Structure 1
Amino acid sequence: MNLKYKIPAILYSGLIFFLSSIQQSSIPPVRIFGFDKIIHFIEYLLYALTLMLAYSNSKSKKIVNNAFGISLITGILYAVSDEIHQYFVPGRDMSIFDLSADVLGIFFGLIIFNKIVQYMTNSEDLHYQNITHK
């Protein structure tokens, strides 16, 4: 993998770990029902984007061709490890509901990444066709 594409995923992994290490008593309570699930969803949607950026820019064709699956597995494994990690943080706990929001975020992030790439590829093809047919 090209290092410049790996750095966002590595830094974001560290950010998730750091935020998961904060004790619950240090986090101001939010009184909106389900707000934490929305945060989990967005957090892992963004994580999926960084993973796809890294894997889809690998030097290995095999990794590039399987970037969606590799990103999905990597993201889910990291989400599971994050929930296990939270079990050991005072005032935090493991939650299947948080994990579910994480996995949904990962899945939607991967779909969004693919749609963006698809749109950009189609735009480049249209631009190329317009240039060559003038």
Structure 2
Amino acid sequence: MGHGIALIVLAGVCLALIMTCVWLATRLQRLNKSMEYQFRQHAERHLKRDQSMQELTRRVDTYIGVCVKMGDELQALQQLAAPLPERLSKLEQSDPAMISYIQASRLVTLGASVEDLTQSCGLTKGEAELVSKLHKARGATPPAN
């Protein structure tokens, strides 16, 4: 009879171990499902981040290209504008009539009237009115020296 009780106790311990194994296997499956879900969520976040990074990289590349093109155009404009002061000076010296118009333009910037222009620069009334109207049309910006 001593062996029978030992077998029953052993069977009970085995049954408890089996139930514990089943419980652990169930917990392990739930844990695996949870980890798979978290992994998918993590992968989706990384994919979205990578897509955002690619879009931002594309935009930055576009902006850099535009800036380089603008820089090239500004450099071309600088080269084009560099000789203008010298050319204007030569033009002022070579054409006496041009001196009157340049002087009239400067006087208009200072607030001279049409009558002032006709007296100071020797312009006709029509020419003085034209210089005055051109000055107003340009938004009262002073001429470059």
Q: Same fold (TM over 0.5)?
A: no
TM-score, structure 2 as length reference: 0.26
Which one has the largest radius of gyration? Answer: 2
Where relative contact order (Cα < 8 A, 6+ residues apart) is larger, the structure is: 1
Question: So what's the TM-score if we normalise by structure 1?
Answer: 0.28
More helix by share: 2
